Structure 1
């Protein structure tokens, strides 16, 4: 099936599904993407699961799980989604598909859906590995669930925004690096940082909320008093709302359907 065939189906839903299936096949057939966005993140996540065996220490558990979340979200989703958007724009596929009967949002959702599914698959693999290695279950699963879905929303919005400033598919390897390094680094720091002092200020950095929520999930301190006497879960939740909104607003205003030269 080709992308052109995806446009030939009869209803918007079937067109979107056909496009998503096509994108999945294209991702899996690309050896570079398959290694950098599928195999490497899984290998790193499994390695970290054994490297940070906790022995019952919530701090080590938080670091391991935060790294797994960050690598799946950045390498598995953010990088893949950005490359996909820029490549389809560069080859004028996105512009042609706007005549297929799909709305702009539907077209972008279908294009990015395989990358989201890929990241969720990686997280599922990590969950199984963590169970096998004896990682205890979170004391409070809610913050971890929020970290997963909030983090996925963050990197999808970031991919849309990054595609705006990425002139070619090759440059996506470079333009995505800053956020990837930031999310991996600050996520780990937030996962081990105490809830008092100046550490809550880390929430102004994209991705820190994922590490903080992971820590709260494992320690069970989500509803204890934190900064300004507010529940500790509120600052990272606010960050996971604000940052996707910032990236999404930028992408909505500046997104380009034509190739950049």
Structure 2
């Protein structure tokens, strides 16, 4: 058994899994992070399920789903991932692990994967609660899937980019606040906004696509003509791709492995 385990951990995938497992344990042992990134988002998401009870109204349910997505993405993943990256950088863990045989990409995946998994678990809890409370099912599940995948890409790349301007783990509680509030606020507004008029301009703000896609998932009409005769889903699709590309490009150019002073 020992020989098998040792052989598994010397492979690139084994190293990534071993480091990711360690990161999960570190997150769970940190009471502050565990409460702020796991218990608080779950509590808020469940509270919003009852606070914004849809009573069978798909449009109202879209608001509840948007809030659940936003809190899991922004608090459960974005803030946790940023804090983890900065803490490991300041402790010189990232720099030391670059000499362990792990590729830079594998090292970042192992560091960020636990936050993503915990966030997905929160979304699974919300889904169970929604079904248990009799919430209406999505008319078109595809936009909801795109909201989850696009939201994950957004917050992961945003965490990498935010770590560039965050000198210490303690400061990450401040540097992550603006985007967290934008994702929560703009997402809710987008989930209520019509597809016509100037409302698609909301997609210029990060997180708005999550709300728009949630609305389309619950009410349908993704491919109906909206502004300028374009499909209603198109602005959200552009934003879903555009923001991760922007944050990812910034992180690729400016990411630092050495501690900041």
TM range (shorter): over 0.9
Q: Which residue of 2 aligns with 1:253?
A: 253
Q: In structure 1, what is the equivalent of residue 160 of structure 2?
A: 160
Q: Report the equivalent of 2:35.
A: 35
- The question of whether the paired residues in 1 share the 8 Å contact of 2:143 and 2:214 is answered with yes
2:12 aligned partner: 12
The residue correspondences of 1:1-261 to structure 2 (distance < 5 A) are 9-261=9-261
- Structure 2 unaligned segments of length 5 or more: list them: 1-5
Q: Which ranges in structure 1 are unaligned for 5 or more consecutive residues?
A: 1-5
- Give the whole-Å Cα distance in 1 for the aligned partners of 2:17 and 2:196: 47
Report the Cα offset of residue 112 of structure 1. Answer: 0.3
- Runs of 4 or more off by more than 3 Å in structure 1? none
Task: State the TM-score, normalized to the length of structure 1.
Answer: 0.96
Cα displacement (A) at 1:59 = 2.1
Task: State whether residues 57 and 136 of structure 2, in contact with CA within 8 Å, keep that contact through their aligned partners in structure 1.
Answer: no
TM-score (norm 2): 0.96
Shift of 1:10: 1.3
What SS does structure 2 have at the residue aligned with 1:206? coil
RMSD after superposition: 1.1
For 1:11 and 1:233, how far apart are their aligned partners in 2?
42
In structure 2, how many angstroms separate the alpha carbons of the residues matched to 1:167 and 1:228? 45
Q: Distance in 2 between matches of 1:103 and 1:238?
A: 31
More displaced stretch, 224-233 vs 164-173: 224-233
